[in-house]
Structure 1
């Protein structure tokens, strides 16, 4: 089994351009198809959120060593880099997410990219998850945890995906892992949908320092942390474009997770790069989506919330006393 600091690193620089060309020839990842809404286990409402959630661990970007502001006008001490959470959702909502993930698993695509087995564009497939990401109560809760007002990431293909991990021998003879990588999107919620007793291995690792100092070969594993994701529904909200993270190989059982990405509409800054996206979708499809993304980011925040049918979330809405009470 790989040690945490020996996980491979997702392609960077010219290697990412090469992957984009390969994906273009292969047709890109599977993003088509949908579930019949009438067969989904339940409808999403704000009642699917649990009031008494637990904030188990928190570090902001300043704690990680980021002195420069990644978003103009927002201090690094106000933007959270890692938030470990338990109890965000009711048991019924977690059961619904698990059932949706199982229903989509048969259409998961394989790749040698960041995640070995996955289903992308989940909001196009599941009304439950689409409604969840467009629920103002859910967005407000995540905005308070992130330290910035949020909306669903404007590009649908990069907004949501299920990830599946199995022992190597069970799936194509390939090691099922999540490579060390940073995300194209800045605000990313990782929700594990398997209990720890369901699988062995598969630890979620993150590097608690600046991306520039990351060294996967460091024998001391300096700043490498293991997230406490032991119960279905446990979640980690990360500043994904700054925080290196990955998932170790699963050696037994099966691990499933849902990953959701968000954007702050009060900034036109966006860390997602064209070649990062093209490695997923290929160049032709990405070109169309990229131009649409750039257009949507030019609109002011009020317009972006209006298009979603939501009352705007503003800076004054973010105060949440539970954040100040979190323990390290």
Structure 2
């Protein structure tokens, strides 16, 4: 659901940019403690979302969808860090690959990096409250969060279009089409979210932030009578003791990102995604305009001058590396500033 330039008027686009900037600013402040130990995992989460978003899956009738990743990222690294991770993905996609308009960047951040994360996280937490208290419960909980988050973002787009849509359309038809198609895409979101989390929980449950409440805690009573809950074992207690062994899952995750972006993406559906399909059905697809970077060397996930599938492979690998480095660098800077402030 990458909104192109032209679907919304300038006033609405500026307003969404302001809201998104405020949300990302709050997320950066709240993410400081989350990434102080290691910004590597959030960097890999960003890279993985970027990679999987290159793989559009068919949902029928000439329409495709792709992972948004809000519920998945929130489950792995927490909602605040997830907002930052997905914002980095959208920045790289818009600036380097001309995916999503530049004037629509604030809108895309609001829909994909804010709405899907917040809705996915809240639904996940609600489901965990009624599921058995064990790490594996995060799998169906986050899958449900992913299922709900996609149509929620679609309905927010309908609200934005009602305020500042470029072309007059029947809002009832727009809402029905957006909700119907994105409910189907939400099923794919749920399946991908559940599959990824099941693999991570099986290998390293300590890397799943949403599974943390399921770990046992000790209540420590201080000399002043204050009661403090602390983990019964350190956060990485389930990880191997050796530093190299601890890094191994991160290396495997990076390799998986490279394989998905550089190889699996070649199998992506070429059908228009849900928003493009609905725009054609309802009649505002002609309002879209090319991105200002549409002539860039990596536009449309290819490399200028490189033929065929190799261009997609190289572009995907480049995108994974750039996304991981930008996310890890930004969050690492936030963590260092927190350490200096604490010192």
Same fold by TM-score greater than 0.5: no
Richer in strand (by share) = 1
Larger relative contact order (CA 8 Å, sep ≥ 6): 2
TM-score of the pair, normalised by structure 2: 0.30
Per residue, is there more helix in 1 or in 2? Answer: 2
The higher radius of gyration belongs to 2
